[in-house]
Each structure stands twice: as C-alpha cells, then as structure tokens.
Amino acid sequence: MPVTGDRGNVADPSRVEDLLRELAPQVLAALVRRYGQFHLCEDASQEALIAAARQWPAGGLPENPRGWLIAVASRRLMDQVRSEQSRRNREEEIAVATPAAELLGPPADAEPTDGDDSLALLFGCCHPELSSPSQVALTLRAIGGLSTGQIAAAFGVPEATMAQRISRAKQTIKAAGLDFRMPTGAERADRLRAVLHVLYLVFNEGYTATAGDELTVPALAREAIRLTRWLHRLLPADGEVAGLLALMLLTDARRPARTRPDGSLVPLAEQDRATWDRPQIAEGIALISAALPAGEVGPYQLQAAIAAVHDEATTMADTDWPQILALYHLLELTAPNPFTTLNRAVALAMVHGPAAGLQVLAALAADKRMAQHHRLLATRAHLRELAGDPDAAAADYLQAARRATSVPERRYLALQATRLGH
C-alpha cells in the first residue's frame, strides 16, 4: 500500500488520486467476483471512488482504504438494485451468485482482492465482443479509474459521446453474459494481444493526438504507461508486456523536445536531445535488453529495440540506421503493417539513399489505406526533398497538410511547403 493515514489527518489530494487509481481495478474486480453484474458493479465502484475523492482529502485516509471502497461500493450496488423497477429480478440474479449474507456488503476491513482478479478484469474489458474504441474506453474507466469526462477530454470528444460509448460497452457485456473469469490457453494468449493493443492505442493517442490543437495529450500517455507498468508487475515474465512498456518509456522520453513553447512540432532531426528524459531511457533500455534474449521476440519488443537505437544516438547523424533497417525488416516479417513499411522506407533511404526509399513508397501508395494518408504524403515529401526535387516535395507537403487532422502537424507541413516555395 503506497500510503496510509489516520482518519483525523488531512490527506494530500494528489496522493489520494494516485491511491484511488491503483485501487480502482481491485475494487471493481472484488465486486464482479462476488456479485457478477459488471454493469452494476462498475457504476457502484465509480460512485465509491467519487465519494473517496471528496472525503479523504479533508477527512484523512481510512485504516484500510481498499476495504472502505469495497464496503461503500457494495452498499451503493445494493441501493441500485433496490431502486430499479426490476428490483426482484436483479436481486435474484445477484442472489444466484452470492450468499445471502453478502448482500449487505463486506465489512470495512475486507480482504483485498488479489492480482489475478484485477488481471481477469483487464482481460474482460478487452473481450473480443467489444469494439476497439469500446475496449479503450472501458479499460480507462474500469481499470484506469478515469471519469467519463476525463476520457472524453483526452480523446477530444463530447462527454455525452463517450458516455454513450461506455454505456454501449456495458450493454454488450450484459447481453453477452461475459463472466470476467480469467481465460486460459489460447484464449488467454489472444486476449493478452488485445490488452496490449488497447494500451498501445491509448499511448499513441497520448503521444501524437489524431486531432485537436495540441500535438500530445501527456495525461493519456502517462496513464498508458502506468497501466502497462501494472500489467508488467502482474506478468513479469511476458516478453511482449516488457517490450510494450519499454517502447512507451523510450518513446515518451522524447516528448519534452517534440514541441516548442508555442506548441509547434519539432521533427526528430531538430530536437534538442539534451532535454530527453535520460533516466526513462535507461529504464526502457534495461527492460528491452532483458526481454530480447529471454524468449520469442514479438512486435512490441522489436519496436522497443528500434526506439532504443534512436535514443542511444547523441545526434541524428550518429544514428545506427543499418541496425534500424534490419529491425524494421524483422518487424515486417513478424507483424506486417503499412505503417511499418512506411517507416522502413525512411530507414532504407537513410542507408541506401532517397531513391530506394521512394521506390518502397511507390509500391505502398497502391494500398488504398495509405494512398492519400497524410503520413505517406509527408514522408514522400521529405524523401523527394532529400532527392533534390523541391517542387514535388512542396506539393506533397501541401497535400499532406490538407489531410492532417492534428493542428500542429497541419501547421508544420504547411510551413514546409512554404519553405520550398509553395
């Protein structure tokens, strides 16, 4: 337990927030394990977290914060059940899974739920019955302990839209009768891939927002790192979990250098590497160095290895591009993806010249998913400029700017077109 306190002492709000985020999945897991009915348990646990956030900073922490939350959430759950028009049906559903004595909720000193319950809950939030956006939203709310408003703000959508998304996810769970038991065998491996993908999506949105006025959403990136750290503690021997955490740390370490004070984008070649977070880089390198020799190498480990090579270079010119190119070849074999091919084209250009990279992009442009994507257009513009064709490069920069949805990216690309005379 990271913090403890007496009921009479005022608690630091930031420490309370950290504690509540750590306890959020454990409390919900305990309720779901006891009562089932995820849609009711999730609402009740959120109400308990809100109550704690209001009471603990002024009144101090209870002796057993986790037990307090479980007890309050259980009482709120019973209040919900009794207030519904279908009270009797709902109580019968809960009674099937729960001894009658438990309907009053656990005592305030209830034993904490174990890590396996929390892990099963995370796997449940990433069930294949749910769409990817629903998996992301539900994970951030149920596991991350974020409010609907916080999630909506992070993704730049109205709170009502995010509330509907979360509500639909819970209705899907209810209709499908998902039990949130820990999957086994091949199903567990498949579900873990979904979990890692959700965390990867959350981080990517935090590191480079797909839309809006800001290039990054630091709070979202930090939350993805926090949840992946937690998953790594639960599954310390899994190489891909370690690889994803390393990738996040190594990538996020560059965030301080990615924007100027006015919020404008700074490309990798122009970043002040002295501002990169060196302790975070060291941690990421240690993680990936331990994971790579330990077993089968997956895509997150390969991406982390690429990020490590970038972070170890003191300047752009010192970057080991042949090693990066070799790693991208392996990544394409392991997990083919058009964006991997796009990045390999850049590495190929740095090793064998821009013409070689442009050949790869010409083939990639035949993919309908990529032909008009602003990232392909921006990459082609960069390589055409390196190849000595400023007019074609400027035209690509301008077209990329028109298609970019992020304001900082759009402005940067438009400036490049202007710089080349368009």
Q: Are residues 121 and 227 in the same domain?
A: yes
Residue ranges making up the domain that contains 40: 13-113
Q: Are residues 286 and 147 in the same domain?
A: yes
Q: Within 10 A of 262 (CB to CB), how many other CB atoms are there?
A: 7
Is the pLDDT at 102 greater than 70, yes or no?
Answer: no
Q: Are residues 108 and 135 in the same domain?
A: no
In a domain, 299, yes or no: no
In a domain, 109, yes or no: yes
Q: Are residues 158 and 46 in the same domain?
A: no
pLDDT bin (cut points 50, 70, 90) of residue 105 is very low
Please name the residues in contact with 75: beta carbons below 8 A apart, sequence gap of 6 or more: 105
The tokens of 101 are what?
């004595």
Kindly report the pTM of this predicted structure: 0.80
- Beta partners for 193? none
Pick the last residue of a domain from 113, 143, 166: 113
In a domain, 337, yes or no: yes
In a domain, 8, yes or no: no
The model's pLDDT over 50-93, given as tens digits with 9 standing for 90+, comes to 999 999 998 888 989 999 999 999 998 888 777 765 555 555 56
DSSP 191-231: HHHHHHHHHHHHHHHHHS-SSBS-S--HHHHHHHHHHHHHH
CATH code for position 324: 1.25.40.10
Pick the last residue of a domain from 113, 132, 154: 113
The model's pLDDT over 178-233, given as tens digits with 9 standing for 90+, comes to 777 788 888 888 889 999 999 998 999 889 888 778 888 888 899 899 989 999 99
Which conformational region is residue 177 in: left (phi greater than 0), alpha (psi within -120 to 50 degrees), or beta?
Answer: left
Based on the structure, what is the number of domains in the chain?
3
48 neighbors 76 (Cβ within 8 angstroms) = yes
pLDDT bin (cut points 50, 70, 90) of residue 98 is very low
- Beta partners for 259? 265
In three-state secondary structure terms, 261 is coil
Query: How high is the pLDDT of residue 88?
Result: 55
Pick the closest to residue 144 from 71, 204, 220, 210 (CA basis). 220
246 neighbors 229 (Cβ within 8 angstroms) = no
The model's pLDDT over 115-163, given as tens digits with 9 standing for 90+, comes to 457 788 888 888 888 888 888 888 888 888 778 887 887 777 888 999 9
Q: Are residues 98 and 150 in the same domain?
A: no
Q: Are residues 118 and 227 in the same domain?
A: yes
In a domain, 225, yes or no: yes
Pick the closest to residue 70 from 107, 116, 39 (CA basis). 107
Q: Are residues 130 and 100 in the same domain?
A: no
- By CB atoms closer than 10 A (0-12, 13-18, 19+), residue 401 is buried
Q: Are residues 125 and 100 in the same domain?
A: no
Is the pLDDT at 107 greater than 50, yes or no?
Answer: no
Q: How far apart are CA 232 and CA 294, in angstroms?
A: 15
